[in-house]
Structure 1
Amino acid sequence: MLLIAQNHFQLIVEVGLILLATMIFDLNLVPLSLSVVTFLSLFLSAGFAILFGADLAFLILSFGQHEFTHPFGPIALLAIITALASLKVMEESGVNVARLKRIVYILLAAITIFGGAMHRSFLLLWFVGLFIGYTIISKSFRQKSILTLRRIGMFFGAALVAFGVLEIVARISGMEVFSPVLRISRLATNSLSSLKLVVGNTWLIGHDPSSSYWSNSSGFADGYISLPMQFILLFGLPFPLFFGLLVTRKDTIDYMLPGIFGYAYDFGYLTFLILLLIVLGTIIVGLMILRQYRHKRESKNRKYLGKEVLLIGSLTGFVSQAIIGLFLFNRTVNGMALLTFMFLGSLVLAHTVTIRRDSNEAVSR
């Protein structure tokens, strides 16, 4: 009974630990050569380009939408940045990657267009992620920093142009779902009341039960932050869930506020502080391991090239999702996206553990 989660928070912790253990074994037991990682990154990038494109087509044709960009956007970022890092390793080795580079940039453009048209928060995540990814790549390969005033200006300019194009498309087509201005106006209208709810009722651990939607609230882990509803229902766990029309109640926090307020409200200030420390620690550990991988590569040790480019991609996805989710949109680190967030974090931390086999012992057995 001790292993059965009693609330949303315990379930999140248990699933996170399971993911971490799984990633540790996968990273150590699966041979991750540079060619394998490159192939997988290209395969995933193509898959997400098709997935986001199909979702956009369904939206335009009024067949409904699934918003795959929320849970899978950071993983698409992982795939693209990993592919770009792989190209850099190949270039350093003298490999002609001209054709492969064209394929990567085509996939990058496709994901940018399809995913950005589907959701504005994805577009922001994507641009931030590309910026972080290119920065990490340049540092890992000791290249000249991309952080110049001109490039920063180009970055913000491209973001503004993208949002402007979406607004024009929304006005011409009459489809408000594309409009960034509408999203901003909704936030401006509703965020203040949501902020008052959170700030006035958040405790050190949990929140004021009377402020929750549920009449039998315990004041902790009321489902405002949770894993995917289908996942919880699959195991028949009796947790409070916002579904159907009740989603609008959850959107008071999930849609209108940054994750720092959502996590603080549902779990308390103390738990949120621990979360921030874990996120920061994961980033620091990832950067430290990257430095070790770079040292091995520069020492002509090619054993860890696949792991190095994978770590660059996963760290980029994790950092980008943390920034957007915790400081802008809670939805980016909630539900299915929370599962993605834990997956990326586990993928980063898994590099800290190396399982060694005693070859002599293996032979004797």
Structure 2
Amino acid sequence: MFLIAQNHFQLIIEVGLILLATMIFIINLVPLSLSVVTFLSLFLSGGFTLLFGADLAFLILSFGQHEFTHPFGPIALLSIITALASLKVMEESGVNVVRLKRIVYILLVGITIFGGAMHRSFLLLWFIGLFIGYIIISKSFREKSILSMKRILIFLGMGLVAFGLLELVARISGMDVFSPMLRISRLAQNSLSSLKLVVGNTWLIGHDPSSSYWSNSVGFADGYISLPMQFILLFGLPFPLFFGLLVTKKDTIDYMLPGIFGYAYDFGYLTFIILLLIVLGTIVAGLMILKQYRYKRENKNRKYLGKEVLLIGSLAGFTSQAIIGLFLFNRTVNGMALLSFMFLGSLVLAHTITIRRDSNDAVSS
């Protein structure tokens, strides 16, 4: 009975621990060679290109939409950055990757166009993630001029052009769903009232029960932050859920505010601070392990090449999602996207724990 989650918060913790344990076994026991990781990254990148493209087509043809970019955008970023890191490793080894590089860039452009057209927040996640991934790859392979004004301006310019094109498409087609300005205007109109709700009712642990939508609220884990509804219903857990028309009540926090306010409101300031420390610790730990992988690669140990490029992609995806979700849009780290966030975090942390089979080959934290 103790292991059965009693609220949303406990369920998130339990699922997170299960994901971490699973990733630890996969990283340690599955032979992740460079070729295997490269193939998987290309396969996933191609799959996400088709998935986002199909979702966009359904939107244009008025067949409905599934918004796959929210939950799968960070994982698509993981796939592309991993593929780019693999190309760098192969280039360093003298392998001709011209054709493979073309494929990767075609997939990158496809995901950018299809995913960006579906959601403006995805574009932010995508460009920030690509920039972070570029920095990590450059640092890992000791390239000069990791950061330069020219490169920063290029990334900023690409983002502005993408948003400008979306606004142009929205005006020409008359489909407001593509308009970045519409999203900005909605935030400007509604975020202030949402902010007042959160700031005025958030406690050290939880929130004022009277401020919640639920009349029987206990002031903690009221479902504003939760795992996917289908996941909760699958196990028949009696947790408060926002569904149907009630989603608009959840959007007061989920759609209008950054994650720092959403998590603070539902779980309290103390829990939010712990979350920030965990996120920061995950990123730092990942970077430390990445240095160990780089050291081994530079000393002609090719055993960890697959894990190295996978860690680079995981770090880029996790860091980008953390930035966008916690500081811009709560929805990027909520629901199905929260599951992706925990998956990426677990994938990073799994590299820091070694199941020792041969003490001479172990990479430890």
Q: State yes or no: 1:16 paired with 2:16.
A: yes
TM-score, with structure 2 as normaliser: 0.98
Structure-2 residue corresponding to 1:302: 302
Aligned residue number for residue 362 of structure 1: none
After the TM superposition, which segments of 4 or more aligned residues of structure 1 sit over 6 Å from their partners? none
Aligned to 1:363: none
1:232 paired residue number: 232
Residue 264 of structure 1 corresponds to which residue in structure 2? 264
Letter in 1 for 2:230: Q
Aligned AA (2:169)? V
How many pairs are equivalent? 359
Amino acid in the other structure paired with 2:173: S
Matched AA of 1:237: L
Output the TM-score relative to the length of structure 1.
0.98
What is the CA–CA distance in structure 2 between the aligned matches of 1:310 and 1:319, rounded to whole Å? 14
Specify the code of the residue in structure 2 equivalent to 1:295. Answer: Y
| Alignment root-mean-square deviation, CA | 0.8
What does residue range 127-146 of structure 1 map to in structure 2 within 5 Å? 127-146=127-146
Equivalent-residue separation in structure 2 for 1:299 and 1:226 (angstroms)? 45
Query: Aligned partners of 1:145, 1:336: CA distance in 2, in Å?
Result: 37
Deviation at 1:144, TM superposition (A): 1.2
**Structure 2 equivalent of residue 340 of structure 1:** 340
Q: Distance in 2 between matches of 1:128 and 1:223?
A: 29
Q: Which residue of 2 aligns with 1:323?
A: 323
AA aligned opposite 2:64: G
1:33-182 map, 5 Å: 33-182=33-182
Cα distance in 2, alignment partners of residues 217 and 330 from structure 1: 21
Q: Secondary structure at the match of 2:54?
A: helix
Q: 1:358 offset after TM fit, Å? A: 6.2
In 2, Cα distance between equivalents of 1:79 and 1:319: 14
**Which segment drifts farther, 30-39 or 144-153?**
144-153
Per the TM alignment, residue 356 of structure 1 is displaced from its structure 2 partner at its CA by: 2.2
Between 143-152 and 248-257, report the one with greater CA deviation: 143-152
Cα shift readout 1:142-163 (whole Å, capped 9, x = no counterpart): 0013311111111111111100
8 Å CA contact 2:48–2:111 kept in 1: the answer is yes
Partner letter of residue 309 of structure 1?
V
The offset of 1:173, in angstroms, is: 0.6
Q: Is the 8 A contact 1:139 1:145 kept in 2?
A: no
2:222 maps to 222
Q: CA deviation at 1:357?
A: 2.6
2:144 and 2:357 map into 1 onto residues whose CA distance is: 40
Equivalent AA in structure 2 for residue 320 of structure 1? S
Contact 1:135–1:145 under 8 Å retained in 2: no
Using the TM superposition, give the Cα deviation of residue 355 of structure 1 relative to its aligned residue in structure 2, in angstroms. 1.3
2:284 match: 284
Matched, 1:196 2:193: no
Equivalent residue letter for 1:114: F
Structure 2, gaps ≥5 residues long: 360-365
Unpaired runs of at least 5, structure 1: 360-365
